[in-house]
Every structure is written in C-alpha cells, then in structure tokens.
Structure 1
Amino acid sequence: MNWLLRQLGQFASQGTTQFWLAIAMPLAGAAITVIIFRIFPSSFKGHGVSRVMLAVHRQKSVLPLSLAPRQWIGSTATISSGGSAGPEGPIVAIGAAIGSSFASWLELDAGRRTTLLGCGAAAGLSAVFGAPLAGVFFVLEVILRDFTARTFTPIVIASVTAAATAQTILQSPDPIFGIALIHIDQTPMLLAQTPQYALLGVITGICAAGFAVGMKSAHRAFNLLRIPPLVKPLIGAALLVACGVAWTLLHQQQSPVENIAANAGKLPPFYGNGYSLIESLLSEPIGTETSALVLFGSLALLMILKAIATAFTLGSGGAGGLFAPGLVIGAILGAAYSALTVLVPALPDVSPTHGVLVGMGAFVAAGAHAPLAGAFLVYELTHSYAILLPLLLAAVIATVAARLVYPNSIYTAELAALNIRLTSVADHSILRSTLIRDLSLLPSVPVLASDSAEMLIEIGERKSVHNFPVVDNEGRYHGFVCGSDVRSALVYRDALRLLTVAELERTDFAPLESDDTLDTALQRFSRHETQALPVIDAQTRKPIGLISRSQIMAVYNSTVGAQ
C-alpha cells in the first residue's frame, strides 16, 4: 500500500496529464473496491472496527474469514488510489477475523473466542504501528470494553509478540504504516503549561465530536440515495476528485500550507492516509506573527477538507478505517493551535512538534473514546516521557469533552444507528455501587404460616400484591410465598380454603437486607424463578418491603443511559 501511494505521487509529478490522471485515480480505486465488495458480500454496511464490535457484543464473536480479503483488498484499492482513509481499521478487522476463525476451528466457547478475536486485533494493530501498548489498550477500551485478567494477559502476550515479530522481519523499529520514530526535546512539562494543554484537549474533544457527527451525517445522506449500494462508493470518489480538482485550481500561489503539502507530495494533501502530511507538519516552523495568522487559517481550511474527504470516502461505503484520518486531523489541529498561541499573547507558546503530537493523541482518544490508546500510541512513536504527561492530560480532557458534546464515538455511532447499545464488564459496577436502601421498595403484606391460602387471593385482589413474606408470631421473617405458587394453586380454587400458607411457603429464599447491593440481589434472583424478593431489617429481621427484577433493570438502564 505504501509503495502504491509513492508510485502514485511519482506518477503525478511526471507531467500535467499524469497529474490530472492521478487526481482522478480515486474513481479507479472505488471501482475496484466495488468489485471486491461484490465478490465478498457483507450484510453489515459499517467499517472494520464497528463490524468487529458488533460481532463481540451481539454475535458471540463470530466473524467470517471472508472479512479478511474484503478488508485487505478493498482498503488497499481505496487508500493507494488516494481515498481518504486509513489501513489500521481494516488490519484490526483482518486480525480479529483470523482470531475468530481459529477459535471456531478449535471449537472454543464464546468467551475464549472473544479473547482470541481480541488477540488477533491487538496483534494486527501492534505490528503495523510498532506500538504494543496502543494495540492492547485500543482492543480493551474500544472493542472488548473489558479489562479483566482473563482478557488482559493473552492480549498483552499477542500484542508484544506481534510487534517483536514485525521488527525482526523488518530489522527496524519503524512502523509499517504511520510515521517513523520521532526524537523530540526532553524538556519536562511544568505546572504553568497545564492550562494550555487542557485547552487543547477541550478544543480537540469538541472537534472530534463534530467529526463523529459529520461521519454519521454522511452515512445517513448516502443511505438516503435511492441507488444500488455498490454505486455509492463511486459517487463518494467522484466528490473526492471534485475536491481535489478545486484544491488544485484554487492554489496556484503557494501559501504556508502549500509548502507543507508540497513536502508531503504532489497530490492534494487530503488524499490518501496522510502520514506524509504529518511528517511535514512536524518539521514546519511557524515563523512570524503574520505568517502564523496565514498558517492558522490555511490549516483550519485543510482540517475541514480532510474531514470532508474522509466523509466522502467512507460515508459512501468505501473501504478503510478512521484511525489514520483521526491522526491527521489531530495533527493539523495541533499545528493550528501552536500557531494560535503565537497570535494570542495570553496563551503560552506551544512548540509545533508538541502541538502536533498532543493533537494527534488527543483527537484519536476523543474520537474513539479511548484515552489510554490515544496517548500511548503517540508515546510509542516518540519514546519520550516528556510528551507523555501532556498527552495523558489532553487525551483525558478531550475524551470527556467529546462525550459531553456527543455520546457516541466514531465507531459506536455506526452501531447506534442500528439501535445497538454496547455494554461492558465495567457496567456491573453500577449494580455493585447501588444499595437496596437507595430504591423505593414495593409494599409487602406479611402473613402467618397458619393463615388460609384463600386469604392470599383476597389480599392480592384487594391490594395488588402477589408475593408474601411469611413471619412468625413475633413478626420476624420465616419464609416466602411466591406469586407463581399462588397462581398454580388457583387451578384448584375450591380446595384453597383447605390449604394453609405453610403448605405454599418456601424456606429456601434467603432474604435481602437494605445494605445489600443490587449485584447481590441479582445473584439471588438468578437462583429463583420469582419476580420479587423479600427485604428485611438487619436488626429486627422483620420484612420492610419487596424488591423486583424490573426495579434493578430500571436502575441499570437509567444509569447506563446517563453515562
């Protein structure tokens, strides 16, 4: 893929005719992608990472092996012809498909298949970026949403092994895709610099949320077109070519951003994965205040164009991932912020290199809702502890800002359109942190073991109560009568006057106490087929009410929705 992109750039520099042919090349890439999609069809219309997330959370981690060639060949055709997309998402999908298929071949259960799927995804990302930590955290934060030891240990082993294997084969620590290792100054972050990186995090988070909304709008707009789905990538490519033509015609005189674009290659800077553009941004000085103003405006325009180009390429159904576009947009945003600090005296200056690197990590973190993955990805490109502190600060703040503006990430937005809401193992902390006394209990009507069973029917009809705690003569809890048992007794209603509560009572129901958590209540419900359980006072052992399954689910759903 890298070789094809370089060949396209060299072809564009050979003359005017070759240049305009290269500008129109995304149409050829889209045509090849359409053919590949026809050969390897898929019912899911989203992209690689979203497809993997859907499999993990709704399809028992089952992925067809045909997803691998579909993503590999389709993304290669799209990106190498100039489409604005990245190879990382398809690589994650390819690794996940291989891991899932291998687990199915071994006839493993769904839990182990999920772990192997995560191992394949982390290994793919780790190998191409040379970033094992980023691979681990991306899979745990974004795909599996699970940090338990059962998944963490094997995924770490797979990620580290993949990175070591890639470096052994290539005999170089440089990543297959992305930018080469960057050496920056080791000046430590000072307390006085905290506000400027925090502000960059806020700005990046808002822009990342806007990017996610824009991608969702692009998907929706292309879905409204009443044309065959396989034609839509061609329309997206045509729109991208139109942007490329307009950019070329309107930039006859070189501006600061044109100098950057010229260093990145002959094609429009928003074509392809954009890694050469990042390398140019890292080495471009800001200059004087006047040139900083021009640079800021040019970079803002370029950032918008990159987002639009990505929306055309991927929103229309083209193959590729959102990881690389996120890195590029974040790099441009960081460079623009560095230029802004020159223009605004109240803002302490941020070096272009630090601005670009922190912008990259923060934008990926905010877009994917994965602060650790975004921060450690850039850290592993620099191996500099000096950049890690501002990275972590900006990444966390950007993620919070993005979630406040728009609740979905660039990946979950595609699933939200299908009414799919993802959960995680961490969601069980909601049940562990909520006590029964925090809820409004249902009223209970205690009865004695000697009471008539017919009286239960009368109380139920009069008070709409169907479950009854049984107490002794001093009012202490003794047992429980389930509504299902009362309904079963109704079959022989004439015999109810002969039955007593003692004959319907069940003593295997351990009562709950007001200081028990909802997690404990849910475990008790799993042991019994009942819709309600008794709650007693821990001191007096007297019933104080009932808790129902529906109450627990209502608390869980409302808390998850609020998050």
Structure 2
Amino acid sequence: MNDILRIKKNIRFIAFQKLILASLLIGFLSAFLAISLKRMTEYYETIFFCQANNHPIYFFIFPFFGLSVIYFLRLYLFNKNENKGIKEIFESTNSKSKILPLYKIPSHYINGLLTVIFGGSTGIEVSTVVASATIGSVAQQKENVFRKYKVELISAGVAAGVTALFCSPIAGILFSLEVISKKATKSFFLTTILAVSIASGLLFLLNEPPLFAINITTWHVYAIPYFVLLGILSGIHSVYLTKCVLFFKATFSKIKIQYYKIIIGVGIISLSLFLFPELYGDGYRAIKTILFSSKEIPLTLPLAITLIGILFLKPIVTSATLASGGDGGVFAPSLFIGAFLGFLMAMVLNTFFNTNVIPVNFMVIGMAAMLSASIHAPFTALFLVCGIINDYTLFFPILVICLISKYTAKMIYPFTVYTFSPTPSK
C-alpha cells in the first residue's frame, strides 16, 4: 500500500513539474510573440502612414492591398477559415473537443500585422491574445496530463501576451480571469503567475517602454462629477461601438462574394482616412500627439468638428475593417475613443465653463472607462491603463469610473462583441 501511495505521489509530482515547465515556456513564447508583433507593427505602421500622409492616394491603395493580401492568405494558406477573434478562444474553452489549431498562431500574427500597418482601424491586441492562447492550447494537446488544464494553459498564454503588450502583469492576469477563464482556481493562478513572471522578465531584459509614459501630477476632488459624466458617456459610446461592430458583421455576412466585402469595406475605410488621418491603424500615434500637447491646444471650431467626426466615425471604420476581413478587435479602438472623448470633454469644460480641469487626466480616465465598458472588465481596464502610462496617481478615480461605465453600458445593452451570440433562425 505504501508503495502504491508513493508511486501516486511521484506521478502527481512529475505532472506538477511538467505543468510548471509548460507554464514558463508558454509565458516566454507568448511574450516574445507579443513584443515582436508590437515592434514590427509600430515600425511599419509609422512608415506607411508617413507615405500616406504625404501622398493621400495611398489612403485608398493601402487598405485595399492589405485586405486583399489577407484574403488570399486565408484562401491558400490558412485553411480558408476566417479568424473570429476572442470567440475562437471561448469556443475552445467551452468544449472538450474543440481546439485552437497551430496555424492560428501565424494566421493571427500575420493578418493582425497586415491589417494595422495598411490602415485598418483596429489593433493587434486581439490578434496577439488569440495567437498566445493558441500557444497554450497546443501545449495542452501535447501531454495527456495537461488535458484537465486546458483553460489554465490557454489563460496563461493570454495573460503573458497581454502583459507583454501593455507592460502590466496584473492586467494580464485580470484579463485572463475576467474575460477568458472566469474561474479563480489554484491551477489558474499557478500557471498564469508563472507565465506572467517570465513575460515581465523578458520586458525587463528588453527594456520595453510603456506605451504612453506620462507624468500625472495630481487630480482634484471637484472634478469627480465631471469624471462620472465621462464614465456615463463612455458607457453610452461603448454600446455604439459594440452595435456598430455587430451590425456591420451581420450585414457583411449576407454578402456571399468576399471581394465585394473588401471593396465596400475599403470604400468606407479609405474615405474616412482621407477625411481624418488620425483614424489610420491602431491610433496610438494620434493619442500620443494629443497626450503630450493637450495643454497647448485651444478648442477651435475646426478642432471640435474634427474630434466629433473622429468619435462618430471610429466605430464605423473599425467595424468596416473587421467585417471586410481585417484581423483585430475593440481593444485599441476603445482606448482611442476614450482618449479623444476625454480630451473633447475637458476642452469643452475649460473653454465654456472655465472649470480648469486637467485634459490629460480626462484622456487617461476616458481610455480606461471606454475599455471597461466595451469588454465588461473594469479591473483589467484599471490596471491596463495604469500600466500603459506607468503611473497610478489616478488609481481611485479610474476604479470608480470604470465601474460606472461598465454598468452604464450593461444597463443599455447587456452584451459585448465577445459575448453576443446571434439568435439562430428558425
């Protein structure tokens, strides 16, 4: 009997060791994938945007070229399957039989890169999340002892990928918990913490800078009512973004010929980029511009029209990008919309009501509020935004406003683009 118990303990110990090694390997591969994709996207997006800004004809050529290449890659290289984003992860985690096949890694990596650098108005975040989830899924398929840890290993890959993208280990863990796993188990925390630790170590070795490294000096109590209003507006606008994405996907799904989808989508994208170049790609470049110059920019009529136009068109352009075959999601669009919504609100308050609020604070809180409302994950949004600015001064107001924006959005419309399922036709 003692020998049998000893053998069982040895088997469990070996399985435990393998789980640790798998988590560390998943963390490294997912973080390396995320960092390389982020750097390549930043580099090539800057080059192509400069060309298009100098020669506006490229605003019409680049999106058509990018979406066409993605179409042919899917047709001849990636099993003719369209990428479904995070819903692919849900389909895998909710089923014992469904897996994330290996080709999803290059598919999302390449298609996400091509979508953004050629002007598609989305980001690489969802592409990274699904590719890194696939790393965890493939690892789970390799060993029988990992079969019961399917969700945990997928979550570990996602957590490491988000950590690497946004320089925020806590955001990586919380996103995996709030959106992917939705179960806090010992094995979940073991795998994700190990994966995130490796991702954080790689960030440190590569000296990866925060996405928006800014210095928040203070915030004022008298601004709280305005923050609350910003949270409510963000919740409302997030529903507009969600419904745009769902409407465009439903409408484009009725078009049977893929090239018609591309032509229609490119028409919407290109015209919008021509009118508002700030909509090009993930929009982080435009956010940086107003973040670092918000104090010097006066509110004029042309600026107000531009901001309103951007806020109105961004959900439409994002939706057209995704519906016509682009790869991406609502992470980057939510941060972009939140930043511009916060900036517009601060400028209106200062110009017409002489409130003397700090525009940067409103931009940062707007980013967090919009993301929280769009994905219904307030704690992920809180730590993610604090991570990308590398500052926790606004921790308390961000926390409160993220909760307000999420529940405002849920009261109006209970679904996100991740959780909505169309009612099957009878």
State how far apart, in whole Å, the 2-side matches of 1:50 and 1:80 are. 24
Match for residue 277 of structure 1?
Answer: 286
State how far apart, in whole Å, the 1-side matches of 2:171 and 2:98 are. 22
Match for residue 308 of structure 1?
Answer: 316
TM alignment of 1:390-539, pairs within 5 A: 390-413=397-420, 416-417=421-422
Q: 1:213 aligns with which of 243, 251, 256?
A: 243
Contact 2:122–2:328, Cα closer than 8 Å, also in 1:
yes
Q: Hey, which of these two has a bigger chunk of strand by percent?
A: 1
3-state SS of 1:147 partner = coil
Equivalent pairs counted in the alignment come to 383
Cα offset, 1:33, TM superposition: 0.6
TM alignment of 1:315-394, pairs within 5 A: 315-345=323-353, 348-394=355-401
State how far apart, in whole Å, the 1-side matches of 2:300 and 2:254 are. 42
Given the superposition, is the C-alpha separation of residues 383 and 9 from structure 1 closer, same or farther in structure 2, using an over 3 Å criterion?
closer
State how far apart, in whole Å, the 1-side matches of 2:356 and 2:397 are. 14
Cα offset, 1:76, TM superposition: 1.1
TM alignment of 1:49-448, pairs within 5 A: 49-59=86-96, 62-168=99-205, 170=206, 172-175=207-210, 179-185=211-217, 187-190=218-221, 192-225=222-255, 227-229=256-258, 231-245=260-274, 247=275, 268-285=277-294, 291=299, 295-345=303-353, 348-413=355-420, 416-417=421-422
Contact 1:286–1:339, Cα closer than 8 Å, also in 2:
no
TM-score (norm 2): 0.84
Given the superposition, is the C-alpha separation of residues 349 and 141 from structure 1 closer, same or farther in structure 2, using an over 3 Å criterion?
farther
In structure 2, the gaps of 5 or more residues are 1-40
State how far apart, in whole Å, the 1-side matches of 2:62 and 2:180 are. 33
State how far apart, in whole Å, the 1-side matches of 2:357 and 2:383 are. 20
> Which is bigger in relative contact order (C-alpha 8 A, separation at least 6)?
2
Cα offset, 1:292, TM superposition: 5.4
1:2 maps onto 2:9 in alignment: no
1:11 maps onto 2:20 in alignment: no
Q: Structure 1: which 4+ aligned runs deviate by more than 4 Å?
A: 286-289
Cα offset, 1:113, TM superposition: 1.5
Contact 1:11–1:22, Cα closer than 8 Å, also in 2:
no
Contact 1:330–1:360, Cα closer than 8 Å, also in 2:
yes
3-state SS of 2:278 partner = coil
Contact 1:61–1:113, Cα closer than 8 Å, also in 2:
no
Cα offset, 1:212, TM superposition: 0.5
Match for residue 428 of structure 1?
Answer: none
Cα offset, 1:36, TM superposition: 1.7
Given the superposition, is the C-alpha separation of residues 51 and 350 from structure 1 closer, same or farther in structure 2, using an over 3 Å criterion?
farther
Q: Hey, which of these two has a bigger chunk of helix by percent?
A: 2
State how far apart, in whole Å, the 1-side matches of 2:42 and 2:314 are. 19
Cα offset, 1:286, TM superposition: 5.8
1:198-249: CA deviation from partner (whole Å, max 9, x where unpaired): 1111110111111101111111111122x2346523431232113234x17x
Residue type matched to 1:196 in 2?
A: Y
Cα offset, 1:361, TM superposition: 0.7
State how far apart, in whole Å, the 1-side matches of 2:227 and 2:190 are. 33
1:475-507: CA deviation from partner (whole Å, max 9, x where unpaired): xxxxxxxxxxxxxxxxxxxxxxxxxxxxxxxxx
TM-score (norm 1): 0.64
| Larger of the two Rg values belongs to structure | 1
